[in-house]
Amino acid sequence: MPIIYHDISALQAALQSYRGHQNDSQVGLKRIALVPTMGNLHDGHLELVKIAKQQADIVVVSIFVNPTQFGAGEDFDSYPRTLDEDVEKLATVEADYVFAPSIDEMYPVLPPPTSVLAGAITAQLCGQSRAGHFDGVGIVVSKLFNIVQPDMAVFGQKDYQQLAIIKQLVRDLSYPIEIIGAPIVRAADGLALSSRNQYLNAAERQIAPVLHRELQYMVQKLKSDDQREQDFGSLLAETHQRITEAGFIIDYLEIKTDELEVVANNATASTVEHKNLIVLVAAWLGRARLLDNQLVTVNQSF
């Protein structure tokens, strides 16, 4: 069973024993991995821990519902908090430590007067409808990096924009941390696993896999010969219509480069210079805001 810490100082003291001491050859250094979560864990989270276990000696899983990344009217108060069940699940994948701090422990002053801003990358996609969200992500991830001082950290690719922002943060703030992006874990019908999937009622759960199927359709079209002269805007428009007709309210549906650079709507598969693309979608289905994305390499023979 993983050891649970609620206090920053206690966790740091426990981890210090794995770091060794300068000029002490008797103490072996251990590679420490961090898996940040907001809890209510599912198989996608457990896959992150499994990847961390393959890469590191010690795995710390943080469980903290971070208030700074929730906007007004969002589900901070109702977000499921299931610490006991989470710890039991983490025991099955051999996580070593759980860091589950209180809000007061993480933020002596709330809202915190210090900001960690990520620039233009935050102004698109989720950042357009969730003002301040990534500022909150920036500060909580920075704090977790400083608290745990891991050698590596694992994040899921379902939150593709968040992963890109964290990579930028590590680069720009010179954190000596390797960031690993883990592939999306899906249900058998293709729905990307998410804690917010539980907001779906039975009828909505039957509809939800449409999102993944439509992204797959777009990927196939982008790779196909008959798509090479059709502009991306037309493909987006027809897919947008089908997703909407299925019952979703679309926040965004976009084609970008894998570095989240803008691709013009009048671009085609035969004219785009950057061949590594990503199709991203966020859409509401009832109370659930669902995210998904698909990477695609356009046929290089064009």
What are the pLDDT digits (tens) for 117-133? 888 899 999 999 898 89
CATH of 195-297, one of 3.40.50.620, 3.30.1300.10, 3.40.630.30, 3.40.50.150: 3.30.1300.10
Annotated binding residue at 7? no
Can you give the residue ranges of every domain in the chain? Answer: 3-182, 195-297
Region 266-270 average pLDDT? 76
Residue 295: its H or E element = strand 288-297
Annotated binding residue at 57? no
pTM over 0.85: yes
Region 163-168 average pLDDT? 96
* Beta sheet of 97-99, edge-to-edge order: 3-5, 97-99, 58-63, 32-37, 152-156, 178-182
The answer on pLDDT for 283 being more than 50 is: yes
Annotated binding residue at 143? no
Task: Of 153, 145, 156, give the one whose Cα is nearest residue 55.
Answer: 153
Measured distance CA(56)–CA(95) in Å, rounded: 11
| Domain 3-182 identical in fold to domain 195-297 | no
Three-class secondary structure of residue 108 per DSSP: coil
Tally the C-alpha atoms within 13 A of residue 19's C-alpha that lie toward its C-beta.
12
Annotated binding residue at 222? no
Annotated binding residue at 196? yes
The answer on pLDDT for 266 being more than 60 is: yes
The predicted structure's pLDDT at residue 27:
54
The predicted structure's pLDDT at residue 302:
39
Question: What residues pair up with 249 in beta bridges, in sequence order?
Answer: 284
Confidence category of residue 301, pLDDT binned at 50, 70, 90 = very low
Q: For residue range 44-97, list pLDDT tens digits in order.
A: 999 999 999 999 999 999 999 999 999 888 999 999 999 999 999 999 999 999
The predicted structure's pLDDT at residue 267:
80
Q: Terminal CA-to-CA distance of the chain, rounded, Å?
A: 54
Tokens of 162: 């968040």
The residues assigned a catalytic role are 45
Task: Report the CATH superfamily, name and number, of domain 3-182.
Answer: HUPs (3.40.50.620)
What does the DSSP assignment read for 208-239? TTHHHHHHHHHHHHHHSGGGTTS-HHHHHHHH
Annotated binding residue at 218? no
